[in-house]
Structures are given as structure tokens and as C-alpha cells.
Structure 1
Amino acid sequence: MSQTPLDRAIAEAGSGVALAKIVGVTPMAVSYWKVRGVPAHQVLVVESATGVSRHELRPDIYPERAPTLNANLRPISPADQSADDAVQSSSMSAAL
């Protein structure tokens, strides 16, 4: 059986009691999270303490981020660089 994100967070903290101390709640509260989920106001603290992402803990309120523009751009190769330089030079000449 695979571990839930909360189970992984508990394992990273060392135990449910240890996670409860880190977050500032009772161990019973952490047990309750297994049934009801991590409360929204505790997600960032759990993420910070354990490294388990907020998306994994609460995908309903922290959906995966869409890729950014930079992630979609390809690096400029030397061949493209010279073509870009030529276009830029002709643009500058036209502006003068």
C-alpha cells in the first residue's frame, strides 16, 4: 500500500507526535488529519517542516503550477544567436 502525503510528512518528521510538536498541535489533531486532511492553515507549516509539497498535501487548494514562460522557451543555440544578431542589427539600422 502506498503512503499518503501525510504519511510521508509524518515519516519525515519522525513520528506523528514529532510532527504535532513542530506544527504546534496535539498528536490527536495529526491523527484527525488522516481522516479529514491537513487543514488549510497548517499546510504551509507542514510543507516547510517536512518537504512534502503543499500540492501533494492539499491539491484542492494548491493545484500544480502551470509551466512558466521560461520553462517553455528553448535555449538559443549559437546558430540562432547569429541570426538574432543580424535581425537586431537590421532593426537598429532601420531605426537610424
Structure 2
Amino acid sequence: MLLMAVFSLNLKAWTVFIMWFMLAPIAHKWDVRPLDILGTGFAIIFVNLGKREQGDMSAYSIFNEDFRELPGTFNEERVDRDIRPVLSEG
């Protein structure tokens, strides 16, 4: 598994990885290590966001065209629609 992880990184990723380790002692010397850790965390989040293809829907309906929801989304409208007939019968 380790070899697979090593060989799956491209040259740009290796360059960033090596630079991070080279600059870590400098960040520690200047007492900006917490900022370095926070910056690294945000960088990892933004790098892994990914991109949606044309026509793909987001899990969050607010980002979809016409605010469309994914099929099977659990929300209050669906619960109301499913429960209301049962309550009116009884």
C-alpha cells in the first residue's frame, strides 16, 4: 500500500510535499507553526474538493440548477406528503 501511495503522486505533489518538510523547521523557528498547520489543513481541503462534470448534481440542492434535489432526499416535504394521507384516514 505504501508503494502504491508513493507511485501515485505526480511530480508537482512530490515537490509540494518536499517543500513542506523543508520549510517546517523555519516555521518552527519563527513560531508560526500553528499557522503552518492551519494552512496545510486548508490546502488539503481545497485540493481534494474535486470538480463536477457537466450534468452532475450536487448533494446540496442549493447548488443545483432550479434547486433540484437528488432522488431519495429525506426532507420535511417528503415526510409531510407521506404522513398526511395516513393522518387524514384515521
Higher relative contact order (CA 8 A, sep 6+): 1
TM-score, scaled to structure 2: 0.27
TM-score, scaled to structure 1: 0.26
